[in-house]
Amino acid sequence: MTSQSSATSRSSAAARRQLANMALFMGPATVLLFMFFIAPVVVDVFVAFTDMGRSLRVTEFTTANFERLLTNDSRIGPTMAVTFTYVLLTLGIFNVTFGLLLALTTTALPERSGAFFRAIWLLPRMSPSVVYALLWAWVIGPTDRGLINQVAVGWLGLEPVDLLSNQPMLLIVLANGFIGASMGMIIFTSAIRAIPEHLFHAARVDGAGPLAVIWHITLPALRWPLSFITVYQTLSLLVSFEYIWLITNGGPFYDTMVFALYVYKRAFENGQYAYGAALSLILVAIGIAASLLMWRLLDMKRLLQTPKIEVQ
Amino acid sequence: MARIELEQVAKSWGDVVAVEPTDLVIEDGEFVAILGPSGCGKSTTLFMLAGIYAPTGGEIRFDGHLVNRVEARDRNVGIVFQSYALYPHMTVAKNIRFPLKFKGVPADEAARRVSEAARLVHVEELLDRLPAEMSGGQQQRVALARALVKEPQLLLLDEPLSNLDATLRLTMRAEIRRLQRRLGVTTILVTHDQIEATTMADRVVCMSKGRIEQIGTADDLYQRPNKLFVASFIGAPPINLLDGRAERGTVRVGELTLPASGIEGAVVLGIRPEHLGLSAPGHGLAGRILTVEPLGRETLYEVATPLGSLRVLEAGSERRWREGDASGVTVPDEALLIFDKASERRLETASLALAEAA
């Protein structure tokens, strides 16, 4: 009788401990996930079905926003095209390729100079967005006071360059790429460092030159970091617009109006909160679709590892 | 196949000297082991031969050709690393084939050589596996196949057996030796394991602190060590070393005075444990058994004597003595090694007659 009751109390103590551990280990992630990822989407869906404007008052529930979105908004197509171009160029040229190039070259340098160059490429990320945008405004100034024109006109004797008016897409890709490259650089650098030194020695003895070593040894080891950076930066570029807003404000005309910026302007500059909410649902849908697609394509399931500490 | 010459070869990183200027000649087809404790410069020497490190001084010659400035990939050297260093994303077949990729070997010949090398080390069943899917012993064989597939003029083995379990080590030892004989490839093995060195190699190069202490056969190093370091590093259980002083025809060790000739000054006596014998009290040195370690085929005793504590190795598993027993320790005088304490060199001319202790 007593032994039976002590057995029950032991098992109930174990159950309590299991519950406490679950709260302890799963709790923070669950709370954050709900507060910052699920709740905003729920609120967004709710607002999208109202007529909420600047007054924040809801007078009726309606599907008018979606009707407008599907039939009566000629901006969606062009802004989507701009977004696609912008994400593809920034990702392809800077965040992945240039980040990789920086990691490969700085890890081949002696440790100190490598760290120095990496630190330089981190600087844009450390400066406040507004300061960074202001620097760009000075660099691209269309008069001969702009830095580019000081060089182009003053030193090289060329015609004055006006990036903002003539090459706005190039401008926002450059401005975002200079910041974005450092993330890939850091991730790739640590991945390259993690490659056992003996593999490089073996490859050299086996006859591989420097480029062959990169191709056969380094790049295969960077498969997962490359996948991760591609997915992560795609999603991040899809929704971020602050530098574009600050540097070109989507212009000239709608040439650099990425979709996220368009949503922002509709919602907050025109005061159409409900319509903005409906538009942003498109971004949510694209983000989820892109993640699932890349998860599949890049076989990222294999990245999942068994836990290092097993909690019961 | 090649004759390898090192002439005053040295390597240092800044102020840190890894290898002092070193001379060594390895004959064509010879199997040489470089033996020493970790940090003695043996792997650095190997990496200089492979072309991974550039020597900071001296000349390395393969068959008389200076190769100091020849890059690793142009030296035609095969190397097996302690960690095997197999390419993790390549199958066994691709790993073995990798060195041929850069030699412009035609596809059908490459395929033939890969399967030949795989058969040589018995991994032909594993060609589609990834390194992570194999045991340490299998990875080791694949690494060996990859080193041999390009028919190197020099095979370098960097502690190739140290990550294997004891039984497998024994098998691989014999197998590598057999392969080397059959292929006749000049081979250099780097190891800290004296058994490995002495069983596999024709000659053993004993290194310490970036310097070659002695080069010789297993017998040379064991029976006639030139230096105190060699005497103490080679042999398990280790040699007994006793500080003594030689003056006017005698050597004084502890409380004992022993007649000796031809030496003066501070000396170190070396006595191998198996050269000492245990006998009834009253014979030889007065001793008391401190510990008894049964080793299977033989038994190791630690015995307190007037000369200090001595290791005595007796053949046979029968334990005649127990801890605390009083016993005599007998020393045959021809088995004594005498070293000059200051120079740590063996004094070959010295002779010492150890009297029966009174």
User: Do B117 and B252 reside in the same domain of the chain?
Assistant: no
Per-residue CA distances from A111 to A107, A108, A196, A199, B254 (Å): 7, 8, 17, 19, 55
- Residue A194 reports pLDDT greater than 50: yes
User: Do B305 and B224 reside in the same domain of the chain?
Assistant: no
pLDDT score recorded for residue A11: 78
User: Do B222 and B263 reside in the same domain of the chain?
Assistant: no
Q: pLDDT for A57-92, tens place per residue?
A: 778 888 878 888 888 788 888 888 999 999 999 999
pLDDT score recorded for residue B333: 64
Say which amino acid occupies A59.
Answer: T
User: Do B151 and B268 reside in the same domain of the chain?
Assistant: no
Cα separation, A112 vs A117, whole angstroms: 9
**Half-sphere exposure in the Cβ direction for B175 (13 Å, CA):** 17
Where is the domain boundary, B177, B209, B231?
A: B231
Residue of A205, A209, A217 with shortest CB distance to B87: A217
Cα separation, A224 vs A201, whole angstroms: 23
In sequence order, the β-bridge partners of residue B242 are B269
Look at B73 and A205 and tell me if their CB atoms are within 8 Å.
Answer: yes
Q: What range defines the domain where residue B96 resides?
A: 4-231
pLDDT score recorded for residue A12: 85
- Residue A303 reports pLDDT greater than 90: no
Residues of chain B found within 8 Å of residue A204, distances taken between Cβ atoms: 51-52, 71-73
Alpha-carbon gap: A230 to the closest alpha carbon of chain B (Å): 21
Asked, as a colleague might, if the bond just before B237 is cis with ω within 30 of 0, I would say yes
Whether the CB-CB separation of A255 and A165 falls below 8 Å is answered with no
Return phi, psi of residue A308, to 5°. Answer: -75, -35
Look at B98 and A199 and tell me if their CB atoms are within 8 Å.
Answer: no
User: Do B149 and B279 reside in the same domain of the chain?
Assistant: no
The CB density around residue B64, as the number of other CB atoms within 10 Å, is 8
Domain count, chain B: 2
Residue of B77, B85, B103 with shortest CB distance to A198: B85
Residue ranges covered by each domain of chain A: 85-256
pLDDT score recorded for residue A3: 57
How many CB pairs lie under 8 A apart between chains A and B?
Answer: 64
Residues of chain B found within 8 Å of residue A217, distances taken between Cβ atoms: 87
User: Do B339 and B206 reside in the same domain of the chain?
Assistant: no
The band of A205, judged by pLDDT with boundaries at 50, 70 and 90, is very high
Least Cα distance to B243 among B232, B252, B234, B235 occurs for B252
3-state secondary structure chain B: CCCEEEEEEEEEECCEEEEEEEEEEECCCCEEEEECCCCCCHHHHHHHHHCCCCCCEEEEEECCEECCCCCHHHCCEEEECCCCCCCCCCCHHHHHHHHHHCCCCCHHHHHHHHHHHHHHCCCHHHCCCCHHHCCHHHHHHHHHHHHHCCCCCEEEEECCCCCCCHHHHHHHHHHHHHHHHHHCCEEEEEECCHHHHHHHCCEEEEEECCEEEEEECHHHHHHCCCEHHHHHHCCCCCCEEEEEEEECCEEEECCEEEEEECCCEEEEEEECHHHCEEECCCCCEEEEEEEEEECCCEEEEEEEECCEEEEEEEECCCCCCCCCCEEEEECCHHHCEEEECCCCEECCCCEECCCCCC
Average pLDDT score, chain A: 86
Least Cα distance to B24 among B203, B200, B208, B184 occurs for B203
Look at B51 and A204 and tell me if their CB atoms are within 8 Å.
Answer: yes
User: Do B208 and B245 reside in the same domain of the chain?
Assistant: no
Q: What is the ipTM of this complex?
A: 0.83
pLDDT score recorded for residue B121: 87
In a domain? residue B357: no
In a domain? residue B236: no
User: Do B72 and B184 reside in the same domain of the chain?
Assistant: yes
Alpha-carbon gap: B28 to the closest alpha carbon of chain A (Å): 20
Where is the domain boundary, B189, B209, B231?
A: B231
Alpha helix segments (H runs only) across A194-272: 197-205, 210-213, 219-221, 223-239, 242-247, 259-264
Output b/e per residue, B90-109; b: 16+ Cβ within 10 A.
bbbbbbbbbbbebeebeeee
Say which amino acid occupies B352.
Answer: L
Q: pLDDT for A131-143, tens place per residue?
A: 988 888 888 877 7
Q: pLDDT for A168-186, tens place per residue?
A: 888 889 888 998 899 999 9
User: Do B310 and B264 reside in the same domain of the chain?
Assistant: yes
For residue B115, the domain's CATH number is 3.40.50.300
Say which amino acid occupies A288.
Answer: I
Whether the CB-CB separation of B101 and B94 falls below 8 Å is answered with no
> What angle separates helix A273-297 from helix A64-71, to the nearest 10 degrees?
60
Whether the CB-CB separation of B164 and B140 falls below 8 Å is answered with yes
Whether the CB-CB separation of B352 and B251 falls below 8 Å is answered with yes
More confident site: B224 or A300: B224
Return phi, psi of residue B267, to 5°. Answer: -135, 165
In a domain? residue B151: yes
pLDDT score recorded for residue A62: 82
Q: pLDDT for A31-66, tens place per residue?
A: 999 999 899 889 888 888 888 877 777 788 888 788
Best mutation target, B13, B47, B79, B100, to test chain A (most A CBs within 10 A): B79
Alpha-carbon gap: B94 to the closest alpha carbon of chain A (Å): 11
pLDDT score recorded for residue A159: 78
pLDDT score recorded for residue B47: 94
In a domain? residue B85: yes
pLDDT score recorded for residue B1: 67
Where is the domain boundary, B196, B231, B266?
A: B231
The band of A162, judged by pLDDT with boundaries at 50, 70 and 90, is confident
Cα separation, B204 vs A33, whole angstroms: 65
Q: Residue B156's closest chain A neighbor by CA? A: A205
CATH fold label, A85-256: MetI-like fold (1.10.3720)
Whether the CB-CB separation of A178 and A189 falls below 8 Å is answered with no
The band of A4, judged by pLDDT with boundaries at 50, 70 and 90, is low
Look at A216 and B98 and tell me if their CB atoms are within 8 Å.
Answer: yes
User: Do B224 and B145 reside in the same domain of the chain?
Assistant: yes
Residues of chain A found within 8 Å of residue B103, distances taken between Cβ atoms: 207
Look at A207 and B78 and tell me if their CB atoms are within 8 Å.
Answer: no
pLDDT score recorded for residue A71: 83
For residue B313, the domain's CATH number is 2.40.50.140
The band of A101, judged by pLDDT with boundaries at 50, 70 and 90, is very high
Q: Residue A219's closest chain B neighbor by CA? A: B89
Q: Residue A202's closest chain B neighbor by CA? A: B85
User: Do B94 and B73 reside in the same domain of the chain?
Assistant: yes
Spans of chain B, pLDDT less than 70:
1, 255-256, 333-335, 348-358
pLDDT score recorded for residue B356: 41
User: Do B216 and B331 reside in the same domain of the chain?
Assistant: no
Whether the CB-CB separation of A175 and A93 falls below 8 Å is answered with no
Q: For residue A115, give the 3-state DSSP assignment.
A: helix
Cα separation, B242 vs B269, whole angstroms: 5
Best mutation target, A200, A204, A206, A302, to test chain B (most B CBs within 10 A): A206
Residue of B85, B87, B146 with shortest CB distance to A201: B85
